Structure 1
Amino acid sequence: MSAAPFAAEHAAARRQGLSVGLATGVYGVSFGALGIAAGLDVWQTVALSLLLFTGGSQFALVGIIASGGSSVTAVATSTLLGIRNGLYGLQLARVLRLLGWRRAAAAHLTIDESTAVALAQEQPEVQRTGFWAAGLGVYAFWNLSTLVGALVGNAIGDPRVWGLDAAAAAAFVALIWPRLKDRTGQVTAALAAAIALISFAPMPAGVPVLLAAIAAIVIGLASAGPSSAHDIEQPEGDLL
Protein backbone atom coordinates (compact mmCIF):
# COMPACT_ATOMS: atom_id res chain seq x y z
CA MET A 1 0.00 0.00 0.00
CA SER A 2 1.41 3.37 -1.00
CA ALA A 3 1.90 6.23 1.43
CA ALA A 4 -0.79 8.44 -0.17
CA PRO A 5 -3.79 6.12 0.27
CA PHE A 6 -2.49 5.15 3.71
CA ALA A 7 -2.50 8.82 4.74
CA ALA A 8 -5.91 9.27 3.14
CA GLU A 9 -7.31 6.40 5.21
CA HIS A 10 -5.98 7.97 8.41
CA ALA A 11 -7.55 11.30 7.46
CA ALA A 12 -10.87 9.63 6.65
CA ALA A 13 -10.85 7.78 9.99
CA ARG A 14 -10.17 11.04 11.83
CA ARG A 15 -13.04 12.78 10.04
CA GLN A 16 -15.38 9.90 10.76
CA GLY A 17 -14.38 9.82 14.41
CA LEU A 18 -14.80 13.56 14.91
CA SER A 19 -18.16 13.64 13.12
CA VAL A 20 -19.41 10.79 15.31
CA GLY A 21 -18.07 12.65 18.33
CA LEU A 22 -19.99 15.79 17.44
CA ALA A 23 -23.22 13.97 16.60
CA THR A 24 -23.18 11.94 19.81
CA GLY A 25 -21.76 14.60 22.08
CA VAL A 26 -24.65 17.02 21.66
CA TYR A 27 -26.91 14.67 23.64
CA GLY A 28 -24.88 15.66 26.68
CA VAL A 29 -26.98 18.84 26.87
CA SER A 30 -29.99 16.75 27.85
CA PHE A 31 -27.96 14.80 30.36
CA GLY A 32 -26.70 18.01 31.95
CA ALA A 33 -30.24 19.32 32.33
CA LEU A 34 -31.46 15.98 33.70
CA GLY A 35 -28.68 15.97 36.29
CA ILE A 36 -29.86 19.33 37.61
CA ALA A 37 -33.48 18.14 37.59
CA ALA A 38 -32.41 15.11 39.65
CA GLY A 39 -31.00 17.36 42.36
CA LEU A 40 -27.32 17.31 41.46
CA ASP A 41 -25.40 20.56 41.24
CA VAL A 42 -23.50 21.67 38.15
CA TRP A 43 -20.15 20.22 39.19
CA GLN A 44 -21.59 16.89 40.31
CA THR A 45 -23.28 16.56 36.94
CA VAL A 46 -20.10 17.47 35.07
CA ALA A 47 -18.07 15.06 37.21
CA LEU A 48 -20.36 12.19 36.21
CA SER A 49 -19.64 12.83 32.53
CA LEU A 50 -15.92 13.23 33.13
CA LEU A 51 -15.50 10.13 35.28
CA LEU A 52 -18.28 7.72 34.28
CA PHE A 53 -18.47 8.62 30.57
CA THR A 54 -20.96 6.14 29.18
CA GLY A 55 -24.23 7.66 28.09
CA GLY A 56 -26.61 4.81 28.87
CA SER A 57 -25.19 4.29 32.34
CA GLN A 58 -25.27 8.01 33.09
CA PHE A 59 -28.89 8.45 32.02
CA ALA A 60 -29.89 5.37 34.03
CA LEU A 61 -28.04 6.52 37.14
CA VAL A 62 -29.49 10.02 37.16
CA GLY A 63 -32.92 8.86 36.02
CA ILE A 64 -33.25 6.44 38.93
CA ILE A 65 -32.12 9.09 41.40
CA ALA A 66 -34.61 11.56 39.92
CA SER A 67 -37.45 9.05 40.30
CA GLY A 68 -36.66 8.53 43.98
CA GLY A 69 -34.78 5.25 43.66
CA SER A 70 -32.00 4.26 46.03
CA SER A 71 -28.36 5.01 45.29
CA VAL A 72 -27.60 1.27 45.46
CA THR A 73 -30.12 0.52 42.71
CA ALA A 74 -28.86 3.43 40.63
CA VAL A 75 -25.22 2.32 40.85
CA ALA A 76 -26.08 -1.35 40.24
CA THR A 77 -28.08 -0.54 37.11
CA SER A 78 -25.42 1.83 35.82
CA THR A 79 -22.74 -0.82 36.34
CA LEU A 80 -24.72 -3.51 34.54
CA LEU A 81 -25.28 -1.25 31.55
CA GLY A 82 -21.54 -0.54 31.40
CA ILE A 83 -20.50 -4.20 31.24
CA ARG A 84 -20.57 -4.18 27.43
CA ASN A 85 -17.66 -1.73 27.38
CA GLY A 86 -15.50 -4.35 29.08
CA LEU A 87 -16.42 -6.82 26.34
CA TYR A 88 -15.44 -4.25 23.72
CA GLY A 89 -12.13 -3.92 25.53
CA LEU A 90 -11.32 -7.59 25.08
CA GLN A 91 -11.37 -7.09 21.33
CA LEU A 92 -9.70 -3.69 21.14
CA ALA A 93 -6.71 -4.74 23.25
CA ARG A 94 -5.15 -6.53 20.29
CA VAL A 95 -5.58 -3.53 18.04
CA LEU A 96 -4.39 -0.81 20.40
CA ARG A 97 -1.53 -2.74 22.07
CA LEU A 98 -1.12 -0.28 24.94
CA LEU A 99 0.43 -0.44 28.39
CA GLY A 100 0.38 1.69 31.53
CA TRP A 101 -1.54 4.95 31.64
CA ARG A 102 -2.25 4.84 27.90
CA ARG A 103 -4.10 1.56 28.37
CA ALA A 104 -6.09 3.08 31.25
CA ALA A 105 -6.94 6.12 29.11
CA ALA A 106 -8.03 3.91 26.23
CA ALA A 107 -10.21 1.85 28.57
CA HIS A 108 -11.99 5.03 29.67
CA LEU A 109 -12.67 5.92 26.03
CA THR A 110 -13.90 2.45 25.07
CA ILE A 111 -17.56 3.04 24.24
CA ASP A 112 -19.95 2.05 21.45
CA GLU A 113 -18.87 4.87 19.15
CA SER A 114 -15.08 4.51 19.46
CA THR A 115 -15.40 0.75 19.03
CA ALA A 116 -17.61 1.05 15.95
CA VAL A 117 -15.34 3.59 14.23
CA ALA A 118 -12.22 1.54 15.01
CA LEU A 119 -13.63 -1.70 13.64
CA ALA A 120 -14.98 0.00 10.53
CA GLN A 121 -11.38 0.46 9.37
CA GLU A 122 -9.34 -2.26 7.65
CA GLN A 123 -5.73 -1.61 8.69
CA PRO A 124 -4.74 -1.92 12.39
CA GLU A 125 -2.94 1.43 12.28
CA VAL A 126 -6.02 3.12 10.85
CA GLN A 127 -8.21 1.34 13.40
CA ARG A 128 -6.15 2.96 16.14
CA THR A 129 -6.57 6.36 14.52
CA GLY A 130 -10.34 5.86 14.31
CA PHE A 131 -10.54 4.74 17.92
CA TRP A 132 -8.72 7.77 19.31
CA ALA A 133 -10.52 10.23 17.01
CA ALA A 134 -13.96 8.94 18.00
CA GLY A 135 -13.13 8.38 21.66
CA LEU A 136 -11.59 11.80 22.20
CA GLY A 137 -14.19 13.47 19.99
CA VAL A 138 -17.13 12.06 21.91
CA TYR A 139 -15.41 12.73 25.24
CA ALA A 140 -14.73 16.38 24.41
CA PHE A 141 -18.16 17.19 22.95
CA TRP A 142 -20.07 15.13 25.53
CA ASN A 143 -18.43 16.87 28.45
CA LEU A 144 -18.70 20.32 26.91
CA SER A 145 -22.40 19.86 26.16
CA THR A 146 -22.99 18.38 29.63
CA LEU A 147 -21.60 21.59 31.11
CA VAL A 148 -23.82 23.68 28.85
CA GLY A 149 -26.90 21.64 29.76
CA ALA A 150 -26.12 21.80 33.47
CA LEU A 151 -25.57 25.56 33.38
CA VAL A 152 -28.81 26.11 31.44
CA GLY A 153 -30.71 23.81 33.80
CA ASN A 154 -29.26 25.61 36.79
CA ALA A 155 -30.12 29.03 35.35
CA ILE A 156 -33.78 28.26 34.60
CA GLY A 157 -34.47 26.62 37.95
CA ASP A 158 -36.45 23.40 37.60
CA PRO A 159 -35.77 22.00 34.09
CA ARG A 160 -38.94 19.89 34.33
CA VAL A 161 -41.03 23.04 34.03
CA TRP A 162 -39.57 23.53 30.55
CA GLY A 163 -39.89 19.88 29.56
CA LEU A 164 -36.16 19.19 29.56
CA ASP A 165 -36.68 15.99 31.52
CA ALA A 166 -38.70 14.69 28.55
CA ALA A 167 -35.95 15.87 26.21
CA ALA A 168 -33.48 13.80 28.21
CA ALA A 169 -35.64 10.70 27.74
CA ALA A 170 -35.80 11.41 24.01
CA ALA A 171 -32.01 11.78 23.92
CA PHE A 172 -31.61 8.40 25.62
CA VAL A 173 -33.86 6.79 23.00
CA ALA A 174 -31.81 8.46 20.27
CA LEU A 175 -28.63 7.01 21.77
CA ILE A 176 -29.90 3.42 21.76
CA TRP A 177 -31.84 3.58 18.47
CA PRO A 178 -28.82 2.75 16.22
CA ARG A 179 -28.27 -0.46 18.27
CA LEU A 180 -31.71 -1.80 17.31
CA LYS A 181 -30.95 -2.75 13.71
CA ASP A 182 -30.89 -6.53 14.20
CA ARG A 183 -33.57 -8.85 15.54
CA THR A 184 -31.64 -9.65 18.72
CA GLY A 185 -31.42 -5.98 19.65
CA GLN A 186 -35.09 -5.42 18.89
CA VAL A 187 -36.24 -8.44 20.92
CA THR A 188 -33.95 -7.48 23.81
CA ALA A 189 -35.23 -3.90 23.87
CA ALA A 190 -38.86 -5.00 23.66
CA LEU A 191 -38.52 -7.53 26.48
CA ALA A 192 -36.60 -5.11 28.69
CA ALA A 193 -39.26 -2.45 28.13
CA ALA A 194 -42.02 -4.94 28.94
CA ILE A 195 -40.32 -6.00 32.17
CA ALA A 196 -39.87 -2.37 33.21
CA LEU A 197 -43.52 -1.55 32.51
CA ILE A 198 -44.89 -4.63 34.28
CA SER A 199 -42.75 -4.11 37.37
CA PHE A 200 -43.18 -0.33 37.50
CA ALA A 201 -46.21 -0.27 39.82
CA PRO A 202 -45.32 -2.98 42.38
CA MET A 203 -41.58 -2.35 42.62
CA PRO A 204 -39.65 0.48 44.34
CA ALA A 205 -38.33 3.27 42.13
CA GLY A 206 -35.30 2.20 40.13
CA VAL A 207 -35.82 -1.55 40.51
CA PRO A 208 -37.76 -1.94 37.20
CA VAL A 209 -34.80 -0.45 35.33
CA LEU A 210 -32.42 -2.79 37.16
CA LEU A 211 -34.55 -5.82 36.27
CA ALA A 212 -34.73 -4.70 32.64
CA ALA A 213 -30.94 -4.29 32.52
CA ILE A 214 -30.39 -7.77 33.95
CA ALA A 215 -32.78 -9.27 31.41
CA ALA A 216 -31.02 -7.47 28.56
CA ILE A 217 -27.61 -8.77 29.65
CA VAL A 218 -28.88 -12.35 30.00
CA ILE A 219 -30.43 -12.25 26.53
CA GLY A 220 -27.30 -10.71 25.06
CA LEU A 221 -25.02 -13.37 26.53
CA ALA A 222 -27.39 -16.18 25.55
CA SER A 223 -27.69 -14.96 21.97
CA ALA A 224 -23.92 -14.60 21.65
CA GLY A 225 -23.29 -18.19 22.70
CA PRO A 226 -19.96 -19.94 22.03
CA SER A 227 -19.35 -17.83 18.93
CA SER A 228 -18.64 -14.73 21.02
CA ALA A 229 -15.41 -16.20 22.35
CA HIS A 230 -14.37 -17.05 18.80
CA ASP A 231 -15.10 -13.52 17.63
CA ILE A 232 -12.92 -12.03 20.35
CA GLU A 233 -9.97 -14.06 19.13
CA GLN A 234 -10.31 -12.92 15.53
CA PRO A 235 -8.78 -9.72 14.12
CA GLU A 236 -12.19 -8.93 12.59
CA GLY A 237 -13.46 -8.08 16.06
CA ASP A 238 -10.27 -6.83 17.65
CA LEU A 239 -11.16 -4.51 20.51
CA LEU A 240 -9.68 -3.23 23.75
Structure 2
Amino acid sequence: MRPISPALLVEELAELVAARPRDAWVRVLVDGAPAARPDLLADELVEPLRVRGRAARRVSAGDFLRAASLRLEYGRTDPDAFYDDWLDEEGLRREVLEPLSPGGSGRFVPSLWNSETDRATRAPYETLPEGGVLLLDGTLLLGRGLPAELSVHLWLSKAALVRRCDPAQAWRLPAYERYEREVAPARSADVVVKADDPRHPALAGPLTGLR
Protein backbone atom coordinates (compact mmCIF):
# COMPACT_ATOMS: atom_id res chain seq x y z
CA MET A 1 0.00 0.00 0.00
CA ARG A 2 1.24 3.49 -0.86
CA PRO A 3 -0.16 6.31 1.32
CA ILE A 4 -1.39 9.21 -0.77
CA SER A 5 -3.27 12.43 -0.13
CA PRO A 6 -6.82 12.73 -1.49
CA ALA A 7 -5.74 15.58 -3.77
CA LEU A 8 -2.78 13.66 -5.19
CA LEU A 9 -4.96 10.60 -5.71
CA VAL A 10 -7.27 12.64 -7.92
CA GLU A 11 -4.33 14.11 -9.86
CA GLU A 12 -2.69 10.74 -10.45
CA LEU A 13 -5.94 9.17 -11.61
CA ALA A 14 -6.56 12.10 -13.93
CA GLU A 15 -3.07 11.73 -15.39
CA LEU A 16 -3.65 8.02 -15.94
CA VAL A 17 -6.92 8.58 -17.77
CA ALA A 18 -5.70 11.60 -19.76
CA ALA A 19 -2.76 9.57 -21.09
CA ARG A 20 -5.16 7.46 -23.17
CA PRO A 21 -5.28 8.05 -26.95
CA ARG A 22 -7.51 10.99 -27.77
CA ASP A 23 -9.36 9.26 -30.60
CA ALA A 24 -11.40 6.99 -28.32
CA TRP A 25 -13.74 7.38 -25.36
CA VAL A 26 -12.63 6.27 -21.91
CA ARG A 27 -15.23 4.65 -19.65
CA VAL A 28 -14.23 4.69 -15.98
CA LEU A 29 -16.07 2.74 -13.29
CA VAL A 30 -15.65 4.20 -9.80
CA ASP A 31 -16.91 1.43 -7.52
CA GLY A 32 -17.42 1.28 -3.79
CA ALA A 33 -19.93 1.12 -0.98
CA PRO A 34 -21.70 4.47 -0.44
CA ALA A 35 -19.69 4.96 2.76
CA ALA A 36 -16.53 5.13 0.63
CA ARG A 37 -18.05 7.96 -1.47
CA PRO A 38 -17.29 6.78 -5.00
CA ASP A 39 -19.57 9.57 -6.20
CA LEU A 40 -17.31 12.18 -4.63
CA LEU A 41 -14.17 10.79 -6.25
CA ALA A 42 -15.88 10.68 -9.65
CA ASP A 43 -17.04 14.29 -9.22
CA GLU A 44 -13.54 15.41 -8.29
CA LEU A 45 -12.06 13.95 -11.48
CA VAL A 46 -14.13 16.10 -13.83
CA GLU A 47 -12.21 19.38 -13.54
CA PRO A 48 -8.67 17.87 -13.58
CA LEU A 49 -9.59 16.00 -16.74
CA ARG A 50 -10.98 19.17 -18.31
CA VAL A 51 -7.74 21.00 -17.51
CA ARG A 52 -5.92 18.18 -19.32
CA GLY A 53 -8.07 18.68 -22.40
CA ARG A 54 -10.45 15.77 -21.84
CA ALA A 55 -14.18 16.39 -21.73
CA ALA A 56 -15.71 14.45 -18.83
CA ARG A 57 -19.31 13.53 -18.07
CA ARG A 58 -20.77 12.07 -14.89
CA VAL A 59 -23.28 9.25 -14.59
CA SER A 60 -24.41 7.49 -11.40
CA ALA A 61 -25.55 3.89 -11.36
CA GLY A 62 -28.16 4.99 -8.81
CA ASP A 63 -30.00 6.61 -11.71
CA PHE A 64 -30.20 3.25 -13.48
CA LEU A 65 -32.13 1.18 -10.96
CA ARG A 66 -34.99 -1.10 -11.92
CA ALA A 67 -38.60 -0.23 -11.22
CA ALA A 68 -39.75 -0.74 -7.62
CA SER A 69 -42.06 -3.59 -8.64
CA LEU A 70 -38.98 -5.55 -9.69
CA ARG A 71 -36.40 -4.13 -7.32
CA LEU A 72 -38.47 -4.58 -4.18
CA GLU A 73 -40.23 -7.83 -5.05
CA TYR A 74 -38.75 -9.47 -1.93
CA GLY A 75 -39.12 -6.42 0.30
CA ARG A 76 -37.17 -3.24 0.87
CA THR A 77 -34.36 -4.75 2.93
CA ASP A 78 -33.41 -8.00 1.19
CA PRO A 79 -29.60 -8.00 0.71
CA ASP A 80 -29.63 -10.63 -2.03
CA ALA A 81 -32.21 -8.68 -4.01
CA PHE A 82 -30.06 -5.57 -3.55
CA TYR A 83 -27.09 -7.50 -4.91
CA ASP A 84 -28.83 -9.21 -7.84
CA ASP A 85 -31.92 -7.23 -8.80
CA TRP A 86 -31.58 -3.53 -8.13
CA LEU A 87 -29.29 -2.38 -10.95
CA ASP A 88 -30.72 -2.16 -14.46
CA GLU A 89 -27.62 -3.55 -16.14
CA GLU A 90 -29.27 -3.79 -19.54
CA GLY A 91 -30.33 -0.16 -19.48
CA LEU A 92 -26.90 0.98 -18.30
CA ARG A 93 -25.18 -0.93 -21.07
CA ARG A 94 -27.64 0.11 -23.78
CA GLU A 95 -27.97 3.78 -22.89
CA VAL A 96 -24.51 4.65 -21.58
CA LEU A 97 -21.67 2.19 -21.99
CA GLU A 98 -22.26 0.66 -25.42
CA PRO A 99 -22.71 4.00 -27.23
CA LEU A 100 -19.21 4.89 -25.97
CA SER A 101 -17.68 1.67 -27.28
CA PRO A 102 -15.38 1.81 -30.32
CA GLY A 103 -17.58 2.64 -33.30
CA GLY A 104 -20.37 3.89 -31.06
CA SER A 105 -22.43 7.04 -31.52
CA GLY A 106 -21.19 8.93 -28.45
CA ARG A 107 -24.80 9.73 -27.53
CA PHE A 108 -25.81 8.60 -24.07
CA VAL A 109 -28.56 9.12 -21.52
CA PRO A 110 -27.23 10.48 -18.19
CA SER A 111 -30.10 9.04 -16.16
CA LEU A 112 -32.92 6.59 -16.82
CA TRP A 113 -34.99 6.04 -13.67
CA ASN A 114 -35.82 8.12 -10.61
CA SER A 115 -36.08 5.61 -7.79
CA GLU A 116 -37.70 8.18 -5.48
CA THR A 117 -40.68 8.81 -7.76
CA ASP A 118 -40.43 5.40 -9.43
CA ARG A 119 -40.72 7.02 -12.84
CA ALA A 120 -38.53 7.45 -15.89
CA THR A 121 -36.40 10.59 -15.66
CA ARG A 122 -36.91 11.36 -19.37
CA ALA A 123 -33.45 12.90 -19.43
CA PRO A 124 -32.41 14.07 -22.90
CA TYR A 125 -29.53 12.47 -24.74
CA GLU A 126 -26.11 14.04 -24.40
CA THR A 127 -23.11 13.66 -26.69
CA LEU A 128 -19.62 13.01 -25.37
CA PRO A 129 -16.96 14.25 -27.79
CA GLU A 130 -14.54 11.69 -29.13
CA GLY A 131 -11.74 11.24 -26.62
CA GLY A 132 -14.02 12.23 -23.76
CA VAL A 133 -14.29 10.42 -20.44
CA LEU A 134 -17.37 8.86 -18.90
CA LEU A 135 -17.16 8.66 -15.09
CA LEU A 136 -19.67 6.15 -13.72
CA ASP A 137 -19.95 5.79 -9.96
CA GLY A 138 -21.84 3.09 -8.11
CA THR A 139 -21.75 0.14 -5.77
CA LEU A 140 -21.39 -3.57 -6.62
CA LEU A 141 -20.44 -2.66 -10.19
CA LEU A 142 -17.61 -5.13 -10.72
CA GLY A 143 -18.05 -8.76 -11.70
CA ARG A 144 -20.91 -7.92 -14.05
CA GLY A 145 -18.86 -7.63 -17.22
CA LEU A 146 -19.73 -3.96 -17.68
CA PRO A 147 -17.57 -2.65 -20.54
CA ALA A 148 -15.01 -0.11 -19.35
CA GLU A 149 -11.43 0.92 -19.93
CA LEU A 150 -10.66 1.45 -16.24
CA SER A 151 -12.17 0.26 -12.97
CA VAL A 152 -11.36 1.91 -9.65
CA HIS A 153 -12.48 0.26 -6.43
CA LEU A 154 -12.63 2.11 -3.11
CA TRP A 155 -12.00 -0.65 -0.61
CA LEU A 156 -13.17 -0.55 3.00
CA SER A 157 -12.23 -3.06 5.65
CA LYS A 158 -15.16 -4.79 7.30
CA ALA A 159 -14.72 -2.76 10.46
CA ALA A 160 -14.61 0.54 8.56
CA LEU A 161 -17.61 -0.41 6.47
CA VAL A 162 -19.66 -1.22 9.56
CA ARG A 163 -18.48 1.95 11.31
CA ARG A 164 -19.16 4.30 8.41
CA CYS A 165 -22.31 2.68 7.03
CA ASP A 166 -25.51 4.70 7.29
CA PRO A 167 -27.54 2.89 9.98
CA ALA A 168 -30.56 2.97 7.67
CA GLN A 169 -28.53 0.93 5.15
CA ALA A 170 -27.05 -1.58 7.58
CA TRP A 171 -29.26 -4.27 6.06
CA ARG A 172 -27.03 -4.07 2.97
CA LEU A 173 -23.90 -5.25 4.82
CA PRO A 174 -24.43 -8.94 3.91
CA ALA A 175 -24.50 -7.92 0.24
CA TYR A 176 -21.09 -6.26 0.57
CA GLU A 177 -19.75 -9.37 2.30
CA ARG A 178 -21.05 -11.47 -0.58
CA TYR A 179 -19.37 -9.08 -3.02
CA GLU A 180 -16.05 -9.63 -1.27
CA ARG A 181 -16.47 -13.41 -1.46
CA GLU A 182 -17.75 -13.72 -5.02
CA VAL A 183 -16.08 -10.84 -6.85
CA ALA A 184 -13.08 -9.96 -4.68
CA PRO A 185 -13.06 -6.39 -6.01
CA ALA A 186 -9.72 -5.61 -4.38
CA ARG A 187 -8.18 -8.15 -6.77
CA SER A 188 -10.34 -7.65 -9.84
CA ALA A 189 -10.30 -3.84 -10.10
CA ASP A 190 -7.62 -2.11 -12.17
CA VAL A 191 -6.96 0.42 -9.41
CA VAL A 192 -7.62 -0.23 -5.72
CA VAL A 193 -7.75 2.53 -3.13
CA LYS A 194 -7.88 1.69 0.55
CA ALA A 195 -10.38 4.20 1.89
CA ASP A 196 -10.84 3.33 5.57
CA ASP A 197 -9.86 6.89 6.47
CA PRO A 198 -11.01 9.31 3.74
CA ARG A 199 -8.36 11.80 4.85
CA HIS A 200 -5.56 9.26 4.38
CA PRO A 201 -6.22 6.92 1.44
CA ALA A 202 -3.64 4.44 0.19
CA LEU A 203 -3.05 2.94 -3.23
CA ALA A 204 -2.52 -0.77 -3.66
CA GLY A 205 0.42 -0.67 -6.04
CA PRO A 206 1.34 1.67 -8.90
CA LEU A 207 -1.26 3.23 -11.21
CA THR A 208 -0.74 0.97 -14.20
CA GLY A 209 -4.20 -0.55 -14.55
CA LEU A 210 -5.52 1.24 -17.64
CA ARG A 211 -6.06 -1.11 -20.54
Q: Which has the higher strand share?
A: 2
Q: Do both proteins adopt the same fold according to a TM-score greater than 0.5, normalized to the shorter chain?
A: no
TM-score normalised by the chain length of structure 2: 0.26
Larger Rg over CA atoms:
1
TM-score normalised by the chain length of structure 1: 0.24
Q: Which has the higher helix share?
A: 1
